[in-house]
Amino acid sequence: MNEVKSVSRGASWFWVTFKGITRYKHLEVLLKNEKLSQDQLQILQWQKLTALLTHAYQNVPYYQRVFEQLGATPRDIRTKEDFAQLPILTRQDVRDNLELLYARNVPESKLVIKSTSGSSGNPLDFYYSHADRERAEAGGLRNFTWAGLSPSDKKALIWIGPIRSPIKKFFTHTILLDCFDLTESRMEEWLEELKRFKPRFVYGYTSAVAHFAQFVEGKHERLDSISAVFVSAEKLYREQRILIEKVFDCKVYDHYGSVEVPTIASECEKGSMHILNDLVYVEFLPWAPSDKLFGLEQDRIIVTSLDSYAMPFIRYANGDLGMPSTAACSCGRPFPTMSMGVSRTFHSFLMPDGQLVNGIYFQKLFLGLPGVTDFRVHQKSPEMITVYVVPETGVLLDTEQFLKGVINTIKQQWPSVSVDIEFLSELPPIKSGKRDFVISDVVRSMN
């Protein structure tokens, strides 16, 4: 706690005051929440949820309509079952009702519009305020403390964003390595920058961090200053975790959030994924048996962001999958645990027979094939799949045989689908900057 106070009062106080930064104050509260009992945490979560519902009812036209249609007010929401009567907010609902979804008691000058760049080029706009973002940032800072780090420690972000000014770099102790361009020459520059800057930890897109780890391994370099790596925005695969932990010689902390709801769950030092119940209210919704979906044995995640006041996300189906867990964690924190799903649902493929197939099916077919360094499966139409393959040099013939076997597997299932293989020396970047294995232009969103 003293550490947090010293950060907000210390060297960065000018920056904190000048920029209206309140995240360190919020962090103090979040760190206290870790000491609550499970019952106390549940009470706090419900208090925050009912306060949000009251706010939405009083200030957000979309939710005024929702309550009107239900013939209810927030006072009628007394139990979890009552809450589950509220309609789910889909990504499409957000697109169709954007101008009804922001709170009218927030001055328009305080609203910021943000666009998420979906990997299949299907953006989603939403509003947030500086005050909301500061609360969300505090959630991220708490995660760093789980690795024994201080919010003031030097960090490197492997992310997409504008080039940070030297002033901001100085005050925030942060460098940004823009991962839109993941070429060898750029990663060579990153490596030099990291050696100079000596960050204590790295935070970045899962696949971009894994890709960089592979590069560092190839160079036989060591980055001794780094004592933790945080990854986010994409599923962390076992192979990626092993690679990153080996190359950086430290633990990887998985983080689950999205642009709309930045902090949903985080991995602790004991390796459990904790749902952050003081920031979110998460429901796990099983699929109806009629949904004949491959790879969808996991539940749909429905999330309510307890701190998003400028534009509330209440019962939001963010397109992700996961399962609640009853496993207790020895770290002692009161937050429940969960396991993440195998893939994001917006990577599902719609096949010619009308079947919706989770992208993990295709990913599993190609992952780990001998001679394949990197790949991307791209569904361009229901009948056409292109697989981009970056082969290792010297084993191309064998690799072609393995790939033919995989193509046969797909064609046995869907004979009318044509599967083209294109060999490349490097995968081209995609708009979101993530390095997804599977992309579909056909299924933009399942919601």
List interacting residues with Zn ion (CB under 5 A). 268, 270, 272, 329, 331
Least distance to Zn ion from the beta carbon of 142, Å? 13
The number of beta carbons lying within 10 Å of the beta carbon of residue 56 is 24
Least distance to Zn ion from the beta carbon of 280, Å? 17
Q: List b or e across 146-173, with b for residues whose CB sees 16 or more CB atoms inside 10 angstroms.
A: bbebebbbbbbbbbbeeeeeeeeeebbb
For residues 178 and 278, which CB has a smaller minimum distance to Zn ion in the complex?
A: 278
Asked if 378 and 385 touch (Cβ cutoff 8 Å), the reply is: yes
Least distance to Zn ion from the beta carbon of 227, Å? 19
Residue 108: strand, helix, or coil: helix
For residues 105 and 330, which CB has a smaller minimum distance to Zn ion in the complex?
A: 330
Do the strands 155-159 and 174-178 form a parallel or antiparallel pair, or are they unpaired?
parallel
Q: How far apart are CA 346 and CA 184, in angstroms?
A: 30
For residues 143 and 272, which CB has a smaller minimum distance to Zn ion in the complex?
A: 272
For residues 226 and 268, which CB has a smaller minimum distance to Zn ion in the complex?
A: 268
Least distance to Zn ion from the beta carbon of 138, Å? 19
For residues 266 and 343, which CB has a smaller minimum distance to Zn ion in the complex?
A: 266
Q: Which residues make beta-bridge pairs with 178?
A: 159
The CA–CA distances, whole Å, from 86 to 71, 225, 304 equal: 11, 48, 11
Least distance to Zn ion from the beta carbon of 331, Å? 3
Least distance to Zn ion from the beta carbon of 333, Å? 5
For residues 272 and 343, which CB has a smaller minimum distance to Zn ion in the complex?
A: 272
Least distance to Zn ion from the beta carbon of 147, Å? 12
What beta strand segments (E) does 218-362 contain? 228-232, 251-256, 265-267, 273-275, 280-285, 293-294, 299-305, 316-325, 337-340, 349-350, 356-357
For residues 257 and 391, which CB has a smaller minimum distance to Zn ion in the complex?
A: 257
Asked if 245 and 217 touch (Cβ cutoff 8 Å), the reply is: no
Q: Which residues make beta-bridge pairs with 281?
A: 304
Q: How far apart are CA 109 and CA 88, in angstroms?
A: 29
